[in-house]
A and B are shown apart, each in its own frame.
Chain A
Amino acid sequence: MRLIHKTKAILGVAFFNTFLVAGAMAAPPDAIAGKAKAQMCFACHGENGLSAAKDIPNLAAQPPLSITYQLIQFRGEQRKGGGMEAITQALSDQDMRNIAAYFSALPPPPAQSGNADKIANGQQIAGTQYCNSCHGSQLQGQKHIARLAGQSPEYLMTQLKAIRSGSRIDMDGTMGSAARGLSDEDIESLAAYATSLP
C-alpha cells in the first residue's frame, strides 16, 4: 500500500512560510529503521545530525525530500564528493527515505553568531538573489530544497563555489543562474547570514 502524505500549507503570521511534504512516496518512511541504517553516516554527519567537520553538512532538520534527492543523485553519480558516491551504492530508495526521515526529525542546528556587517550584507544579497523564493523566508528549506539555516558556513561556501563553476550538478539550472553573478565575498556573506539563522 502506498502512503500519500498530506500536503499542508501553513501560512505564517508575519511572513509566508510554506511547509510542504511531497506528494508521492512509496512505503511510509521509517525513522527507526532509518536510524539503524544511518549508523554508517554518524561518524561524519553525527548521530544528532550535526557534522564532525566544517566541510561536512549538518543534516539535522533538513527537509526529508532534500536528503533523499541528494542521496539519489550521489548514488547515480550525478553529484560527487566526500566519497558519498561509493557509500550510497548499496542503499535502496526505501533506505534513503528512512535515513531522511531520521535526520529530518532531529532538532535544527543552533544559529551561529558572526560578523554583523557580513551577516547584514548576506541578508541583503539573499534578497536580491531571490534565495528565499525556494529556500524559504528563514532559509529553512522546503520540499526537495535544502535547509541553509544553521548550516556550516565552510560547507555552504564550498558548495556555492562548486555550483558557480559548474562542478556540482545543478538539477534544473536555477542554482547555476543564481550563483553565477556572486563574488567570493558575496558567497562569504551569504554563508555568514545563513549560518546565523535558527
Chain B
Amino acid sequence: MKLKAIYSLMFAMGMALTTLATAQAPAVPAIPPTWAQGRTADGMNPSLAPNPPGIAATPADEIAVSKLKVPAGFKIELWASGMPNGRSMTESPSGTVFVGTRFTGNVYAVVTKDGKREVKTIAKGLHRPNGVAFANGSLYVAELSRIIRYDNIEQNLDNPPAPVVVFDALPKDEPHGWKFMTLSPDGKYLYFQIGTPANIVVPPYTHAAIVRLNLKTNILEYVATGVRNSVGMDFQKGTKELWFTNNGRDWADENLPNDTLNRLARPKGMNFGFPFCHQGDFLDPEFGKGRSCDEFDKPEMKLGAHVAALGMRFYNGNMFPAEYKGNIFIAEHGSWNKTKKSGYQVVRVVLDAKNKPVKLEPFITGWLDGENFWGRPVDVQMLKDGSMLVSDDETGAIFRVTYGK
C-alpha cells in the first residue's frame, strides 16, 4: 500500500537518524513511552501522538455550551466550571458531587445552595486521584497506588480532615495506573481497575484486571482479567451485574480493535482476552499467534476504535422519556491514534428485553469541530432528580442534561 510504504520510510528514516551511531548503549535499555509502545515501521501513520492533557480550566463565559447538541426535547447547560482536569464523578446521598482528577492532583466538591453551585477544592497534591466513591459519610479516593478516605467530609468541606489510608499495596506503574472506582450495590466493596502497564504487552498477573476491595476485611480480590484498561463501570439495577467499558490497544489499525462494553456475567473468573484477543474476535497481530478468541469471554458491544470509551452509567431516573430507562450512557474522551478524529461525544446504548445491547447512537455531540476539539467528555453521572451530568477535563467543567420544561 502506497501510504503505508511512505509511513514505513518516514519511520525508518526517523529511527535511522536516532540510531545511527552504535557505540555503547546506556546502562539500562529504555522502553518506548507507553503510548508509542507497539508502534511498528510498517504500521500506521507514525506522526500520531496523544493529545496534550487538559490541565487548566476554561473561564465559564468562554465555554461554548451552545455548540453542544442533544436530541429534541433535551437541554444541556453549563452546570459547574473552574475545576482544572475534573474527571470522574460521584454524588453523595445529600447531593454533593465529588470530582476526581488525573493530572492536577485535586479533588473537588460541587455543592448546590439556593439553586447556585459552588466549587470547593477539598484536596490538593494527591497522586492521580482519578477515582471517587461515596460510602457511609466518607469520600473514598483512588490514587495511582492507594485508596484513601475522607471521613465526615460533607460536614468539613471547607476544612477537610487528613485522609485515612485504606489500602496502599497497589502497583505503582504510571501507565494506565489512574483508576475508576465505584461502590458495589451492597456497599461492601469498592471496584476499580488495574490497567495494563503499556499499550500492548503480556502484563504481570497483577495488571489488566478489575479488582474489588472488601471494605470490612481490606482484602483485595481479582474479579476479571484480560481487561486492558477500564475507566468506567456501573452496576445494573435489578441484575446487580457490573458492566464496564474497556479501551482497545493502539497501533494495530486505525479502525481496529474497538473499545468495548462488557458485562461481568460471573462474579469471578472471566477473562476478556488482553493481550491475546481484542473485542472478542480480533486476534492480536503479535500476541495472538497460536491463540484463539474462543478461549476468552466476549464483550457485549463494540463501541468503535480509539474512541476512548470512559465513564458509563445506567439511566434509572424518571426525568428522561420512558424509552431511556435502563439505557447506558457512555462518555467518549476521543481519539488520538487515528488520523480522522472520532469519539468526543456521549453515546446512548439501548438494551432489548433480553438485556442485550442492540442500538448505539450519539446523544451529545459538538465538542469536536472538524479535526479540532474544544472539550473532552470523561464521565457521566445521573443525579437523583433524573438529570445527567457530563464532566469534561479539557475545559474543567461539568454540563447537565435535562428533559422537558
Contacts and interface: CB of A to CB of B under 8 A. Distances in A.
B257 to A, nearest CB: 22
A125 B371 CA distance: 35
A81 interface: no
Determine the main DSSP class of B at the interface with A: loop
B394 A24 contact: yes
Determine the main DSSP class of A at the interface with B: loop
Nearest to A180: B28
A114 interface: no
Interface string B74-95: 0000000000100000000000
B55 interface: yes
A127 B103 CA distance: 28
Contacts of A178: 30, 33
Contacts of B46: 16
A116 B64 CA distance: 53
Contacts, number: 152
B255 interface: no
B55 A69 contact: yes
Contact of A120 (B19, B23, B34): B23
Interface string B11-55: 101110111111111111111111010000000001101011111
Interface stretch (A33-41, A48-56, A153-161, A169-177): A169-177
Interface string A114-134: 000000110111111111111
Contacts of B22: 124
Interface stretch (B146-154, B294-302, B372-380): B372-380
Interface string B361-405: 000000001111111000000000000000000110000000000
Nearest to B36: A133
A129 B19 CA distance: 10
A9 B47 contact: yes
A15 B174 contact: no
A77 B275 CA distance: 39
| B51, B369, B394: most-surrounded residue (chain A CB, <10 A) | B51
B129 to A, nearest CB: 13
Contacts of B321: none
Given A172-B103, A181-B30, A126 B56 contact: no
Given A16-B46, A173-B175, A174-B34, A24 B395 contact: yes
A111 interface: no
Contacts of A69: 52, 55
B21 A120 contact: yes
Contacts of B174: 170, 172-174, 176-177
A93 interface: yes
Interface string A159-194: 000000000001111101110111100100000000
B105 interface: yes
Contacts of A143: 49, 51-52
A23 B51 contact: yes
Contacts of B52: 22, 65, 69, 143-144
A5 B372 contact: yes
B47 A11 contact: yes
Contacts of B173: 173
A127 B25 CA distance: 10
Contacts of A176: 174
B114 interface: no
Contacts of B33: 130, 133-134, 174, 177-178
Contacts of B64: 2
A174 B174 CA distance: 8
Contacts of A112: none
12 contacts: A4-B374, A6-B372, A11-B47, A16-B11, A120-B23, A123-B20, A127-B15, A130-B30, A132-B14, A137-B17, A174-B174, A183-B26
Interface of A: 2, 4-7, 9, 11-12, 14-16, 18, 20, 22-24, 26-27, 65, 68-69, 72-73, 76, 78, 93, 120-121, 123-134, 137, 142-144, 170-174, 176-178, 180-183, 186
